[in-house]
Amino acid sequence: MTAKHALVTGGGSGIGLAVARRLSEDGFRVTVSGRTEQALADSGFAYVVMDVSDERQVNAAFASIDPVDVVVSNAGQAKTAPVLKTSLKLWQEMLAVNLTGAFLCAKAGIPAMIERGWGRFIVVASTSALKGYAYTGAYTSSKHGALGLVRTLAIELAKTGVTANAVCPGFTETELLGRSVETIVATTGMDHEQARAALLASNPMERAVTPAEVAAAVSWLAGGEAGSTNGQAIVIDGGELAG
């Protein structure tokens, strides 16, 4: 039997690379995508260069690879500003990558899954898909939208053999967390240790989620035992949203 094929967007680093490695360990053929070719080449996986916010690039990329059985829509960006100081450019940038990117990948990848009667569409969202955070209006709105997309797809695809789900991690040990710490240091006068502690204070475990923990959740959703899990937001946050 031919191994199932998984595409992981934003797969050259961080959570995406951890997901790619885990799915490969699970026996999937893995293709990663992103905008930086060198990072993709360094990943060791087959890759295709694309900007998920560009419909022509997305369609061309999907057409250039074998049909996919699993799409992990992981590519994303996070930039912060108070809502009333958020520029239209920043607002549109966050929606383009985090929401429109997932939408375009769904349109490009899911039809082939429906034809074969099996598939998994998985969005790496955020706890920001489920609650608000100060100074993250554009990002949080985009992640709420991504979860809305997942829930709608889940209903529309329910009888096709294809599921749609989201994984919602809290602050995760990636370059993005490091940049957030640097921003706090630059704007508040805190040192790095204080800034990191401030970010992680909302997590009852007082530590960052690891990319491997997120990848483990994606692995389960991509497998055969998750066939009835549909339209869900799997939260990985150390208990932050439990309170």
- Rounded to an integer, what distance in angstroms lies between the CA atom of residue 33 and that of residue 36? 9
- The answer to whether the Cα torsion of 157, 230, 147, 101 is positive or negative is negative
- Can you give the pLDDT at residue 174? 82
pLDDT > 60? residue 33: yes
- Taking the alpha carbons at both ends of the chain, their separation in whole angstroms is 46
Radius of gyration of the chain (CA): 17
**Residue 238: Cβ-neighbour burial (10 angstroms; 0-12, 13-18, 19+):** buried
Residues carrying an active site annotation: 139
pLDDT > 80? residue 123: yes
Residues 81/26, Cβ–Cβ less than 8 Å: no
CB count within 10 Å of CB 56 equals 10
- Can you give the pLDDT at residue 105? 98
Q: What is the domain class of 5-170+209-234 according to CATH?
A: alpha beta
- Can you give the pLDDT at residue 75? 97
- Rounded to an integer, what distance in angstroms lies between the CA atom of residue 21 and that of residue 172? 17
Residues 211/172, Cβ–Cβ less than 8 Å: yes
Which one has a higher pLDDT value, 159 or 182? 159
Q: Is pTM beyond 0.85 here?
A: yes
- Can you give the pLDDT at residue 173? 85
- Residue type at 65? I
Q: What is the mean pLDDT of residues 3-20?
A: 97
- Rounded to an integer, what distance in angstroms lies between the CA atom of residue 101 and that of residue 38? 21
Residue appearing with tokens 């502690």: 197
Which one has a higher pLDDT value, 198 or 32? 32
Helical (H) or strand (E) element with 139:
helix 137-156
- Rounded to an integer, what distance in angstroms lies between the CA atom of residue 179 and that of residue 51? 21
The pLDDT confidence band at residue 122, using thresholds 50, 70 and 90, is very high
- The 3-class secondary structure across 173-198, one letter per residue, is CCHHHHHHHHHHHHHHCCCHHHHHHH
162-169: strand order across its sheet: 46-49, 29-34, 5-9, 70-73, 119-124, 162-169, 233-236
The CA-based angle 172-173-175, given to 5 degrees, is: 105
CB count within 10 Å of CB 233 equals 18
Q: What is the mean pLDDT of residues 211-228?
A: 97
- Can you give the pLDDT at residue 115? 97
Name residues whose C-beta falls within 8 Å of residue 73's C-beta, 6 or more positions apart in sequence: 9, 52, 101, 102, 105, 106, 121, 122, 123, 124, 146
Would you call 80 helix, strand, or coil by DSSP? coil
The pLDDT confidence band at residue 151, using thresholds 50, 70 and 90, is very high
With CA atoms as reference, report the closest residue to 54 among 103, 6, 11. 103
- Rounded to an integer, what distance in angstroms lies between the CA atom of residue 138 and that of residue 90? 7
Where do the structural domains in the chain lie, given as residue ranges?
Answer: 5-170+209-234, 173-208
